[in-house]
């Protein structure tokens, strides 16, 4: 869901006629720097490893050159996104942050808005402890007139994760407006609005996610959220219908049986409730919530 477009504005046109690939790096071994034109060509070709190598050669000559620092940071970020190993991804994000922030020390660094955009995303991928920094840099980028289709999505998720729920709602509104056909985004927004007390909007978004997804796991999550909205909103039959739909696709869902038991318990039917909780424990003997309910007196 969160893989933004490359930072191409303002650089693609400069790359026309530039040489690509390893040849540009090899030729640099006998010259002080890889030319900016060659770096832009490698960037336009999305050869991020070659960009990083070219910038490394050039920074060995001039460690404070903001152009090469920026593109080293940009390349490190996109190389990090491609990493499946969490530790390696984290190292790439650290490198991206270090290089870009170092570049921004310059009095008038190039591509300042794009740099803030990539910095914000890099901080997001560093984890929850860095979500506030992600928000600051993404907002800075937007304030400078640069934003991409995923800017508001990153802002919404970072604000939600940082406990800034009220802010996240406005970001989710913008993100969903730009990507109305994204079931993942709609479901994340639905959860945020439910937590903020707007169950009606949460229901609409969760229903939209359910309708548009082809992924069974996402559909199950959407149904669980809808069922929770219905259960807490005094609509037990609608809640039970969602749990039955979950069990139809995943008969081993202990949670569906557990929450079905809650519906029956709240409706004043302890026999059906305990039967559902026993089924949950049969499926998952370590289901703590169901075991707790069965240990309570009726």
Q: Where are the domains of the chain?
A: 180-250, 253-298
180-250, CATH topology level: 1.25.40
CA-nearest of 106, 136, 144 to 120 is 136
What is the mean pLDDT for each group of 10 consecutive residues in the chain (298 residues)?
A: 41 35 46 88 96 95 95 97 94 97 94 96 97 98 94 97 96 95 96 97 98 96 98 97 96 96 96 97 97 87
Q: Buried b / exposed e across 198-219, counting CB within 10 Å, b at 16+?
A: ebebbbebbbbbbebbeeeebb
Q: How far apart are CA 204 and CA 275, in angstroms?
A: 32
- Provide the pLDDT for residue 31: 58
Give the pLDDT confidence score for residue 32 in this predicted structure. 79
- Cα–Cα distance measured from residue 115 to residue 105, given in angstroms and rounded to the nearest whole number: 12
Euclidean distance between CA atoms 27 and 222, whole angstroms = 55
Q: In the chain, which ranges are continuous DSSP H helix?
A: 22-28, 36-44, 48-61, 66-82, 86-103, 112-126, 131-143, 151-161, 165-178, 183-195, 199-212, 216-232, 236-249, 254-266, 270-283, 288-295
* pLDDT at site 298: 57
Quick one: CA dihedral 65, 66, 72, 76, positive or negative? positive
| pTM for the predicted model, two decimal places | 0.83
Under DSSP, is residue 256 helix (H, G, I), strand (E, B) or coil?
helix
- Return d(Cα 247, Cα 127) in angstroms, integer: 34
Structure confidence at residue 70 (pLDDT): 97
Q: How many CB atoms lie within 10 A of CB 57?
A: 17
Please state, in angstroms and rounded to a whole number, the distance separating the CA atoms of residues 200 and 269: 27
């Amino acid at each position: 869901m969160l893989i933004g477009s490359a930072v191409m504005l303002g650089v693609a046109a400069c790359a026309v006629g530039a040489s690509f690939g390893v040849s540009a790096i090899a030729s640099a071994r006998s010259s002080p720097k890889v030319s900016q034109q060659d770096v832009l060509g490698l960037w336009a070709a999305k050869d991020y490893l070659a960009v990083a190598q070219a910038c490394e050669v050039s920074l060995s000559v001039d460690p404070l050159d903001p152009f090469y620092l920026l593109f080293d940071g940009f390349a490190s970020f996109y190389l990090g996104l491609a990493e499946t190993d969490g530790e390696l991804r984290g190292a790439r994000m650290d490198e991206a942050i270090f290089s870009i922030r170092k570049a921004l020390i310059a009095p008038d660094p190039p591509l300042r808005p794009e740099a803030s955009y990539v910095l914000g995303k890099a901080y997001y991928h560093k984890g929850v402890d860095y979500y506030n920094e992600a928000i600051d840099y993404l907002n800075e980028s937007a304030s400078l007139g640069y934003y991409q289709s995923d800017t508001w999505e990153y802002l919404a998720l970072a604000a939600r994760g940082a406990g800034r729920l009220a802010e996240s709602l406005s970001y989710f509104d913008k993100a969903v407006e730009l990507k109305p056909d994204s079931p993942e985004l709609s479901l994340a927004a639905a959860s945020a609005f439910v937590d903020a007390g707007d169950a009606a909007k949460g229901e609409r978004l969760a229903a939209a996610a359910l309708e548009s997804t082809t992924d069974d796991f996402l559909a199950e999550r959407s149904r669980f959220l809808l069922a929770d909205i219905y259960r807490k909103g005094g609509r037990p039959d609608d809640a039970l219908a969602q749990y039955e739909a979950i069990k139809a696709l995943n008969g081993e869902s202990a949670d569906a049986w557990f929450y079905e038991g809650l519906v029956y318990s709240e409706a004043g039917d302890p026999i059906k409730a305990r039967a559902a909780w026993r089924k949950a424990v049969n499926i998952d003997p370590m289901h703590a919530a169901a075991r707790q309910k069965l240990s309570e007196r009726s």
